[in-house]
Chains A and B, each alone.
Chain A
Amino acid sequence: MGQEVEITSAGGQVWRGTLVPSHEMSGERIVQLKLASGYNVGIRVDVADRVVVVTPSEAPDGLAAAEAVVPRTQPRETPTDGVPWIALLTTGGTIASRIDYRTGGVRPVRQESELLAFYPGLEREGPVRIRSVFDRLSEEIGPADWVVLAEDVGRAFEDGARGVVISHGTDTLAHTAAALSFAVENPPGPVVLVGAQRSPDRPSSDGASNLAAATRLARDPRLGEVVVVMHAGLDDTSFAIHRGSRVRKMHASRRDAFESRNAPPVGHIDESGVHLTAEARAPTGEELRIDTRIVEDAPLLWFYPGLTPERAEVFVGNARGVILAGTGLGHVSSHHLSWIRRAVDRGVFVGMTSQCLEGSADPYVYATGRELRRAGVVYLGDLLPETAHAKMLFGLGRTNSSAELAGFLLEDRAGEFVPRHFPERAR
């Protein structure tokens, strides 16, 4: 790789260029050349073709050496004596990924220096201590990682950070935000999760502006809760502040994919500054508590027409709890009543949420709901299914009693319940 070659086909066509790694999805016997014009092309090389190496690879300028040219620096210690600083915990994801030209995918950056190269303006408003916690795409982040992150958030505040920013892949960013809402109690400053829907190797990446908005918010002493900051719309100048326990990724690719459900965002950020609503939670002044007791494996079951009770029962297995995402007001087919009764009798917690994602699960409107409630299903109001799931895992870590677990889940701990639903649907 990286050599300049000249390939003469049997038909007499001459191709001259630099050998670059072929795409993962390239065909057989295809080599990829970068021509002098900058274009890459796929050339079929047959046995009869003549291949001459014109110049050998000139690393580190060659393409294969792209990884090697990433500047390798010592971990940086930002001088923070007396100056207010914030922590940036990186976990990987698009916001901290660069393109892999061979596979065509993106890979997380592993170095603080790489991140700073993407976001040169990061410290414009003050020092940022960067700590790389993981370098994973967010579909690889799970409950065990929530624990690590919660502990790191606690450590950052203990070390004196005014706020904490967590850069995270967007796929499960809302899950992690919900989890941290329950694991980090009484945060003395903002805990801001942020991501990007476009990788930072694209000029149009939303990563830089999202991160700038997030670091700005993290310095705001008025906020003391876990939130998500992402684009509010198509503009690069307006950002929504979503409560971590009420936010959901609602689009696969748009910059404004994240939406608050059941209530509007708790604030927004634009060129004029940070604007918080009355709903935004200020620091309580009480002692910060990081409670990471958790049971990692218990299911979230999305009901669908045709789901057999047998499959559902197998899926739940020996778990001590299950969150159901039921239809409408929180229903599953009455065929499921028997296994649910058996599970409840065994002491398994069964919680019900609505797969409508907005509005409350309510057992009293239809007969099915009433029967489910009688069978012991706990209706969880307007908790989002994913929020209820994360909350249940922490609840399972705190108690063995299904009744206590119900109490834990039904108690508002981080503003995850919305008592009044208004006609306007601001997201």
Chain B
Amino acid sequence: MKVGLEVHQQLATTKLFCSCPSELSETVTGTFLRRLRPTTGENQNLDPAVAFEASRALAFRYEGTPDNCLVEIDEEPPHSLNAEALDVALTLSFLLEATPVAEVVVMRKMVVDGSNTSGFQRTALIAVDGHLDVGGRRFSIPAICLEEDAARKIASSSGEVVYRLDRLGIPLIEIATGPDIANGEEARAVAEEIGALLRATGKVRRGIGSIREDLNVSTEGGRRIEMKGVQDLRKIAEYVTREDGRQRVLLLAQEELRRRGASAPVGPAVDLREAVESVPSGPLAEGLRKGGVVLGLALPGFHGLLASPEGSDERLGREFADQVRALGLKGLLHSDELPGYGVDADAVARIRSTLHAGPTDAFVVVTDRTAERARQALEGVRQRAGQALEGIPPETRDPLPDGRSRYSRPLPGRDRMYPETDIAPIPITAERLRWVASSLPERPAALRARLSREYGLGEQVVTQIVAGGLVETFETLAKRGHLPPIVARLLTQDLPDAVAKSPPPEPVFSVEALDAVLRATAEGRFAKEGIPSVLLALANGAPDIDTALARGNLATMHRSELDALATRIAISNAEMIRTRGEAAFSPLMGDLMREVRGRIDGKEVAAAMRRAMERLEP
């Protein structure tokens, strides 16, 4: 199996071709409706992915936000390429030891799914042939690109897709690896290292969706597929494993089809109304009742190959279903799952006879409101069945939350790229390269080594600090005299916990706010165990630390108060202490901690509990 990664990271600069801020917004100021038409590239060929999207003939509604200008809505030519973003891309080129181009040529990558108001995504190749060492292995980095992010999809119905313009134009650095990655675990490690490199620049956006991965996967004997927009790094391994499983099943089906001497189906789609008219219930009956059509297609030689083979969850039938879903249909029925869904054996026989399908043949049935779309859907199935004879079709797939992926469109080729003529080529001068080279951030590996050396931190926590882009904050706080382990814990555990528990929008803590929290605990105003509660109270709107302490009932306890509490617990558990002796300490300590956690140091609590027990014992 071969795996390649494309990491897309949003930059925290202004947008790539205008000076709008790179911020998402929940405020919509107005909407407008557009349509896109496919056009040919500079060599007059229409790209298959573009043709596919155009075949859906959708209308696009765009939601404007207070921060959008005319550039995002395609009412003004792009301004010049954001110089700061280009410098970040060049910085990455140095960190990955890649060779920058002499002149950056901004290209238009045609995308007519509406995600770009212009109908293309602007993208430029910045550097080639770099490499990255992870876990003792070297991975090639064939390309580093700078491109604009697409609009954010908000909703979609059968004829219209709604996009918000806030995300459109945010600079993205795309780092592609070669097909050198052996498995999912390695893919994850490489993605994390690339993420750490990106964050080392200090110029990247944070939070959900700010870094996205595309996976390129091909198995032995298979073909390359592209999985678009994997947001959760922890899922990479699962996606790769599932894709491997899918490709294996497809290859098995191909082998069997060849053995049977099956040929590509020729169609056409056949009207099955008469054959299924008597079907009492299920999707077909429903479709007819609503005035729709029922069409079928015979797949010669496919009998038994549409269902999952023994020991696998993958199946060819799902590939066909994905084709019709991509056109907006709910799904299809295939002969390997029939009788069922209200279709009895008699109806199956009638369908077979209408389609002239023999016992070694399979068939699929769809229902839809319009004959045209149903016919288009079956044409997709017919083509996909033809591809089954060739093995694995090259395609773009959408990752699903359960670790599987779904067909979204054909793999785009070079025909969709043509130059963005509104922007002159940008020379990468020797001066610029010297300037970028002189201000490179520390590489993650060197950084990790230095942090563990200087601050005596363990490997795991150092990795978390570097991967999380927390180095600057960590060092600032540590240099202000706070104990490194406490700062590390604050940044890698307490803070993410508090953020996770807070209602949206995500709270932001300044270095000063964190410094104040650490200072308060160092001054003994509350115990370090109370840090998470204080952070949470601050996140929930407490204006200062005193308020946070009061809300969390966290102000440090007086020793006498603690002793009184411990004594009360000891007395009410006197029987237990008498019978169990020393063994009673732990549960009683637990009770006391529940009362005082965060307000006083754990060691003090233990001592108080012990004193109370001793006083009670005869």
The interface size of chain B toward A, counting residues with CB under 8 Å, comes to 51
B43 near A63 with CB under 8 A, answer yes
CB distance from A21 to the nearest CB of B (A): 10
Q: A6 on the interface (CB 8 Å rule)?
A: no
List A contacts of B424 (CB < 8 A). Answer: 23, 25, 104
Given A25-B424, A63-B43, are A101 and B38 also a contact pair (CB < 8 Å)? no
**Interface-located stretch among B101-109, B505-513, B601-609:** B101-109
Q: Is B99 an interface residue (CB 8 A)?
A: yes
A237 at interface by CB-CB < 8 Å: yes
Assembled-state Cα–Cα distance A69/B414 (Å): 18
A233 to chain B: which residues have CB within 8 Å? 32
Do the beta carbons of B421 and A99 come within 8 Å of each other? Answer: yes
Shortest beta-carbon distance, B185 to chain A, in Å? 28
B223 within 8 A of partner (CB): no
Find out whether the CB atom of B414 lies under 8 angstroms from the CB atom of A38: yes
Once A39-B125, A41-B105, A202-B39 are accepted as A-B contacts, the answer to whether A235 and B425 lie under 8 Å apart by CB is no
Of the candidates B73, B76, B414, the one whose C-beta lies within 8 Å of that of A36 is B414
Most chain B beta carbons < 10 A, residue from A27, A103, A204, A209? A204
Contact A27 to B118, CB < 8 A, known contacts A69-B44, A198-B74: no
User: Which A residues are CB-close (under 8 A) to B43?
Assistant: 61-63, 66
**Closest B residue, CB atoms, query A23:** B425
Question: Does B35 have its Cβ within 8 Å of any Cβ on chain A?
Answer: yes
Known: A27-B427, A36-B414. A201 touches B419 (CB 8 A): no
A residues 21-42 near B (Cβ < 8 Å) are 23, 25-27, 30, 32, 34-42
A202 touching B125 by the CB < 8 A rule? no
Measured CB to CB, the closest approach of chain B to A251, in angstroms, equals 8
State whether the Cβ of A195 lies closer than 8 Å to any Cβ in chain B. no
Cβ of B118 and Cβ of A235 under 8 Å apart? no
Q: Is A78 an interface residue (CB 8 A)?
A: no
Query: CB-CB contacts of B70-110 with A at 8 A, as 1s and 0s?
Result: 10011111000000000000000000000101111101011
Q: Across the two chains, which residue of chain A brings its CB closest to B420?
A: A104
Query: Is A413 an interface residue, CB under 8 A from the partner?
Result: no
Min CB distance, A109 to chain B, in Å?
Answer: 13
Q: A42-B105, A255-B75 are known contacts. Are A37 and B125 too (CB-CB below 8 A)?
A: yes
**Other-chain contact of A101, B35, B125, B418 (Cβ < 8 Å):** B418
Q: Which residues of A contact B320 (CB under 8 A)?
A: none
Q: Does A421 contact B (CB under 8 A)?
A: no
A-side contacts of B101, CB under 8 Å:
41-43
Residues of chain B within 8 A (CB-CB) of A15 are 128
Chain B neighbourhood of A37, CB < 8 A: 125, 143, 414, 417
Contact B415 A38 (CB under 8 A): yes
How distant is the Cα of A104 from the Cα of B418 in the complex, in angstroms? 11
Contact of B425 among A26, A200, A237, A253 (CB under 8 A): A26
- Do residues B34 and A236 form an inter-chain contact, with CB atoms below 8 A? yes
> Which one of B77, B105, B128 has the highest number of Cβ atoms from chain A below 10 Å of its Cβ?
B105
Closest to B44 in A: A69
Closest Cβ of chain A to B217, distance in Å, is 18
Minimum CB–CB distance for B260 against chain A, Å: 37
Is the CB–CB distance between B105 and A32 below 8 Å?
A: yes
Which residue of B has the minimal Cβ distance to A209?
B35
A44 within 8 A of B: yes
Whether A38 lies near B39 (C-beta < 8 A) is: no
Least CB distance from B134 to A in Å reads: 23
B residues less than 8 Å from A69 (CB atoms): 44
Most A CB within 10 A of own CB, among B103, B118, B415: B103
Q: How far is the CB of B423 from chain A (nearest CB, A)?
A: 8
Whether A75 sits at the interface, judged by CB under 8 Å, is no
Decide: A204 near B103, CB < 8 A? Known: A39-B125, A99-B421, A104-B419: no
Q: Across the two chains, which residue of chain B brings its CB closest to A120?
A: B37
Contact B119 A204 (CB under 8 A): yes
Q: Is A254 an interface residue (CB 8 A)?
A: yes
B110 to A203, Cβ gap below 8 A?
yes
Interface presence of B42 (CB below 8 A): yes
Contacts of A200 in B (CB 8 A): 39
What CA separation (Å) do A406 and B422 show in the bound complex? 46
B484 CB, min distance to chain A CBs, angstroms: 43
Contacting pair A30 B103 (CB below 8 A): yes
* A239 nearest CB across to chain B (Å): 13
- Cβ of B33: which chain A residues have Cβ within 8 Å of it? 235-237
CB of A254 within 8 A of CB of B70, answer: yes
How far apart are the CA atoms of A100 and B77 in the complex, in Å?
17
Name the distance in Å between A2's Cβ and chain B's nearest Cβ.
10
Are the CB atoms of A205 and B37 closer together than 8 Å?
A: yes
Q: Contact partner of A235 among B34, B70, B75, B419, CB < 8 A?
A: B34
- Per-position binary interface string of chain A over residues 73-117, scored 1 when its CB falls under 8 Å from any chain B CB and 0 otherwise: 000000000000000000000000001110111100000000000
State whether A63 and B42 are in contact (beta carbons under 8 Å apart), knowing that A42-B425, A101-B421, A202-B119 are contacts in the complex.
yes
Complexed CA–CA distance, A11 and B419 (Å)? 28
Alpha-carbon distance A103/B422, docked complex (angstroms): 10
Q: Is the CB of A27 within 8 A of B103?
A: yes
Query: Which residues on the B side are within 8 Å of A202 (C-beta)?
Result: 39, 118-120
Return the chain B residue nearest A197 by Cβ.
Answer: B75
Q: Binary interface profile of B, 263-302, with partner A (CB < 8 Å = 1, else 0)?
A: 0000000000000000000000000000000000000000
Q: Is the CB of B36 within 8 A of A204?
A: yes
CB distance from B365 to the nearest CB of A (A): 33
Tell me the smallest distance from the CB of A38 to a CB of chain B, in Å: 3
A203→B120 contact, CB < 8 A: yes
Determine whether the beta carbon of B125 is less than 8 Å from that of A41.
yes
A234 touching B42, Cβ below 8 Å: no
User: Which residues does chain A contribute within 8 Å of B458, judged by CB atoms?
Assistant: none
**Residue ID in chain B nearest A238 by CB atoms:** B33
What residues on A are CB-neighbors of B414 within 8 Å? 34, 36-38
B105 to A253, Cβ gap below 8 A?
Answer: no
Across the interface, name the chain A residue whose C-beta is closest to B120: A203
Please provide the chain B residues from 60 to 77 with a CB less than 8 Å away from any CB of chain A in the complex.
70, 73-77
Within 8 Å CB of B145, what residues of A?
39
B334 to chain A minimum Cβ distance, whole angstroms, is 35
Q: Is A13 an interface residue (CB 8 A)?
A: yes
B103/A42 in contact, CB under 8 A: yes
A208 within 8 A of B: yes
On chain A, the residues within 8 Å of B124 by CB distance are: 39
Known pairs A63-B42, A66-B43. 11 more at Cβ < 8 A? A15-B128, A20-B42, A35-B125, A38-B415, A39-B123, A39-B125, A42-B103, A42-B427, A201-B39, A234-B75, A236-B34
Closest 6 CB pairs of A and B: A203-B119, A42-B103, A38-B417, A38-B414, A234-B32, A104-B421
Chain A to chain B contacts (Cβ below 8 Å), 29 pairs:
A23-B105, A23-B419, A25-B425, A26-B425, A35-B125, A37-B414, A38-B109, A38-B413, A39-B125, A40-B125, A41-B102, A42-B425, A66-B43, A99-B42, A100-B421, A104-B421, A105-B421, A202-B118, A202-B119, A202-B120, A203-B37, A203-B39, A203-B110, A203-B120, A204-B118, A209-B35, A234-B34, A235-B34, A254-B75
